Structure 1
Amino acid sequence: MQHAASLTVLEVGAIFLTITALLAYINHRFIGLPTTIGVMVISLAVSILAIFLGLLGFDQLVDYEVGLLDQLDFTEVLLDGMLSMLLFAGALHVNIGDLRRYKLPIGILACLGTLVSAFLIASAIYLLLPWLGFDLSFIWCLLFGALISPTDPIAVMGILASAGAPKSLETVIAGESLFNDGIGVVIFVILLGILASGEIPSAGFIGHSLAVEAGGGILFGLVLGTILYYLLKSIDSYQEEVLLTLAGVLGGYALASHWHLSGPLAMVMMGLMLGNRGRAYAMSDQTRHYVDLFWELIDEILNAILFVLIGLEVVIIAYSVNLFIAAILAIVIALAARFIVVGLTTKTFNQQLELPKGAWKVLTWGGLRGGISVALVLQLPSGDERDVLLALTYAIVIFSILVQGLTIGKVAQSIHPSGHKTLSN
C-alpha cells in the first residue's frame, strides 16, 4: 500500500486547510447547505468514492487519503488544539441571564442526563450486540455510552443558529451542550483508567475525581476570566485585547490540562464571563466589534475544518454486514436514550422548566453528536472492541449531523409554526 509521503506539520495543515476552503467554495457556489454540513457531505462523498474505487482495484485515492490521515492525530488536533477555541467562541455569545433562567433543565440534562444516558446506552449495547456476533465487556460498553452521550456544542451551536428554534429551547440545548461535554470527558477518562488498570476505584475516588476535574475546571475558568476582565478593562486598544483573549484561551486550556482540570469547562466559564460582564464593562464598542469578528471567524473556520476531517476519516472504518446492522441499532439506541432522558426531565419538572408544549421533540432531535465523540473513541486502545465502537460512533455522528442537523429546523417549526413566538421575552 502506497501512502502519502512523510509531511511536516505545516504541510499537513496547509493541505487540510486548502481542502476545506475548496469544499466550502463548492458548497457555497453549487450546493447551498449550511457550511458545516455542506463540507462534511462533500468530504464524505469523496471518502465513499475513494472506497468504491478501491474495491474496483483503483486504490491510489484511498491509499493517499489514509496516508494523509495517518499523519494527523485527530484526537490531539481536536482535544488539544481546536476545542478550547471553539468552546470559548460558542460561550462568548451565550446570554448568562438566559442560562440562569433555564438553569434547572440545563443542569439536569448536562449532569444527571449524561450519566443516565451513558448507562442506558451501555446496557442496551451490552445486551443486544452479542446477537450480531459482537461480545463486548460491560466496561467497553460503558466507555461507548460515556463518549456518545454528550451532545456536541460544536455541532449543536453551529446548526441551531439557523434552525429557527424557540429562544428558550435554543438556550437549553446550547447551555446543555456547553457543559455536558466536560462531564462526559471526565467520565470517559475515569472509565478509561479502569480499563487500563483492571481495578474498579471506590465511589469516593470517583466522586473526588469528578469534583476536582469538573469543579476545579469551573473555578479555574472563573479566576482566569476575572484576570482577563481586569486586563481588558485597563486598556483600550483592540489589537492587544484580541491578542489577550487568544492567549487566555490557548494558554488557559494548556494550563488546565497540565493541572488535570477540565479544560472544556474552564473555557466555557471564561467565555461566559467575558461575553457578558467583559463585553458590557471592559470593552469599548470598537473592541467589542473586533473581538466578535475575530472569534466568529475562528469559529467558522475551525468548524469547517473539523467537519471536513469527520467526513474524510470514514475511510479508516472497516464495515461488515453485521457491523452495518449494529450501527443502525446503535443509532436507534442513542435516540431512544436521549428520548428517555429528555422525556423524564420534561415530564417530572414540567411546571418548573417553563418550556413550550412539545419541547421534548426539539430537545430530543436537537441532541447532536459530533467531533468530540470521534476524538474520544480514537483514544481507545487498539483492538477488535475499538474497531466496533469506532464504526458505531461514526454511524451515530454522521446520522446526527446529516439527518438530525438538516431536519431540526422543521421540528422546531412544529413547536411554533409562526417562528416568532419565544418564551424569553
Structure 2
Amino acid sequence: MDTFLLNTVILLALVVVLGFFNEKVTKFTHEIALMLFTVIVGGVLLVASAVLRGTGTASQVLEELQFFNLEGFLMEGVLCFMLFAGSCHMRLLDFKKYARAISLLAVGATFLGAVFYGLIFYGAGKLLGLSFTLPVCLMFGSIVAPTDPIAATSILKRFHLPDGISFIIEGESLLNDGMGVALFIFFSGMVTAEESGGFIAVMAKEILGAMFVGIVVTFLCFAIFSRTKDESRQIFTSLLAVSMSYVLCECFGFSGAIASVVCGVLFSALRNYSEYKGRPLDLRQFDIFWGILDTLLNSVLYVMLGISFIRILQMPHVLVLSLLAIAANLVARSGSLGAASIFIGPLPDGYNKPQFIKLLTWGGLRGGLSVALAMSAQGMVSDEIHLIILGGTYAIVFFTTIVQGMTMHRVYERIQSTVVKGE
C-alpha cells in the first residue's frame, strides 16, 4: 500500500475524530486540542508498542512511530500555502499605520531575542557542564526566536483582541520568519566555520531577493487573476503564484517564507485597489477556498507536532533542559520586547508599554518553522547537541502552544482590565 496515502488517512482520521471529540466534550481551542490529544495518543502508542514488543529500546519504537516527515511536510510542502492564507487578507492601510511597530518587532526584537536566548543558554550550559559553544547557542536562539504566524492568527484571533494590537501581533509573526531564517543561516555559518557572507549580505539575499521574486511573480499572475471570470481559475492562479515564488526562492537561495507572505500581502493590496478603482472582483469562492485550506493544513500540522512530541524522550537530561529552554525563551522574549518597545512610540488601543510587553511575551507562540529549522541543524553539530536543540525546540513549541495558548485568554483579560482602568 502507498505510504503517502496511508499517512494521509491516519492524519485525517486524527483531525476528524479528535476535533469532533473536542467539539462535543472538551471544547478547547481547536489547534490546542489537536496538539494536546495527539501528544496523549503518541504517548499511549509508545507505551503500548514497548509493552507488546517486550524488547528493543524506546528510541527504536520511537523511530517506527515517526513515519511523518515533518520537515519535508513544512519546508518542501505546505508552509508557503499556510503563509499565503494567513496574509492574503491583510489590511494594508493598517500595516501602513503600524509599520514602525511591526518592523521594530519583526527585525529588532527577533534579533535581540535570538541573541538574548543564546547568551542565557550558553551561560546555563556552562553551569551544567555542557559543551555548548557560543555560536551553537546563538544558532539555537535563532531557531526559537521567530513567533509562529499560524499559531498567532489561528489562536489569538479567537480572543477578540483590539484591532490595533491584534494587527501588530499578526504582522510581527508574519514578517519575522524571514529574519529568523536569515539569523539561522548567519549563525549556522559560524557554527560550521563557513563564510556566510556577513549579516548584511545574508539579509539582503534572504529578504530583498525574496521580495523581488514575490513582487514579480504576483504581478504576472494577478494580470490573469484580475481578468478571468472563472472563479476556479482565480484560485488556480493564486496557487500558482505562491508555489512558483517559493520554488524560485529555493532555487536562488532566497527566503521562500518571505516570498509567500509578499504574495499574500500583494494579492490583498491588489484586490483592494481593484475595488477602489470601481472594478470589484467576485472573490467569494477564493475566500472560502483559502479559509478551508488554511484550517485543514493548520489542523494537520498540529496533529503532526503532537505526534512528534515523543521525540523529546530522546533528549539527554530531558526535564532540566526542557525547563531551561522554556525559561530562557520567556526571559529572552520579554527582554527583546522591552528593548524594542523603547523605540516603538505610542501604542494603540490604550496600551502602555508594560502591558504591551506582557501580552506579546505570553502571546509569543512558536510552531512549525522553529521545528523545521531545528531539524535542519542536523549535521552541523554532534548528534547529542542536535538532540538537545531539537528537544528544547519541541519543549518550547508545546509549552507556548498548549500552556500559553490555553491560558492566553485569562492573561489577556487581566491585562485588559488594567488597560480599562488606565493603570
TM-score, length-scaled by structure 2 = 0.89
Distance 1:320 1:349 in 2: 39
Distance 1:252 1:80 in 2: 13
> Equivalent residue of 1:199, what SS?
coil
Q: 1:99 to 1:295 in 2, by over 3 A?
A: same
Match of 2:301 in 1: 306
140-149 or 351-360, which deviates more? 351-360
1:268 matches 2:255: no
> Equivalent residue of 1:368, what SS?
coil
Match of 2:365 in 1: 368
Distance 1:355 1:258 in 2: 45
Q: 1:146 to 1:315 in 2, by over 3 A?
A: same
Distance 1:340 1:49 in 2: 38
Distance 2:250 2:202 in 1: 14
Shift of 1:354: 7.6
Q: Is the 8 A contact 2:164 2:348 kept in 1?
A: no
Aligned partner of 2:154 among 153, 158, 161: 158
1:141 matches 2:141: no
String of CA shifts for 1:45-65, please: whole Å, max 9, x gaps.
1122234445656679x8776
> Equivalent residue of 2:283, what SS?
helix
Distance 2:412 2:273 in 1: 31
Shift of 1:418: 11
For 2:36, the aligned partner's letter is V
Match of 1:379 in 2: 376
> Equivalent residue of 1:287, what SS?
coil
Match of 1:3 in 2: none
Distance 2:122 2:419 in 1: 42
Shift of 1:308: 0.6
Q: Is the 8 A contact 1:166 1:412 kept in 2?
A: no
Distance 2:42 2:322 in 1: 18
Aligned partner of 1:67 among 51, 56, 64: 64
String of CA shifts for 1:263-291, please: whole Å, max 9, x gaps.
11111111111123225517987731111
| Percent of aligned pairs sharing the same letter | 27
Shift of 1:190: 3.1
1:359 matches 2:352: no
Shift of 1:20: 2.2
328-337 or 51-60, which deviates more? 51-60
Aligned partner of 1:15 among 3, 10, 22: 10
Match of 1:47 in 2: 42
1:91-102 paired onto structure 2 within 5 Å: 91-102=87-98
Q: Is the 8 A contact 2:214 2:262 kept in 1?
A: yes
1:186 matches 2:179: no
Shift of 1:311: 0.7
Aligned length: 412
1:195 matches 2:188: no
Shift of 1:227: 1.8
1:68-87 paired onto structure 2 within 5 Å: 68-70=65-67, 72-87=68-83
1:230 matches 2:223: yes
Match of 1:245 in 2: 238
Match of 2:211 in 1: 218
Match of 1:401 in 2: 401
String of CA shifts for 1:137-174, please: whole Å, max 9, x gaps.
22221111001000010111111110222211111111
Q: Is the 8 A contact 2:315 2:387 kept in 1?
A: no
Q: Is the 8 A contact 1:156 1:173 kept in 2?
A: yes
Q: Is the 8 A contact 1:169 1:355 kept in 2?
A: no
> Equivalent residue of 1:93, what SS?
coil
Match of 1:167 in 2: 163
String of CA shifts for 1:28-87, please: whole Å, max 9, x gaps.
222211111111110011122234445656679x877642424x3211110121110000
> Equivalent residue of 1:75, what SS?
helix
Gap regions ≥5 residues in structure 2? none
Distance 2:356 2:324 in 1: 25
TM-score, length-scaled by structure 1 = 0.89
Match of 1:255 in 2: 248
Shift of 1:335: 0.7
Distance 2:416 2:115 in 1: 33
Q: 1:236 to 1:80 in 2, by over 3 A?
A: same
Distance 1:322 1:405 in 2: 26
For 1:236, the aligned partner's letter is K
Distance 2:362 2:414 in 1: 12
Q: Is the 8 A contact 2:162 2:349 kept in 1?
A: no
String of CA shifts for 1:77-119, please: whole Å, max 9, x gaps.
1012111000000001221111111111111111111111111
Shift of 1:130: 3.1
1:332 matches 2:350: no
> Equivalent residue of 2:346, what SS?
helix
Distance 1:321 1:248 in 2: 44
RMSD: 2.7
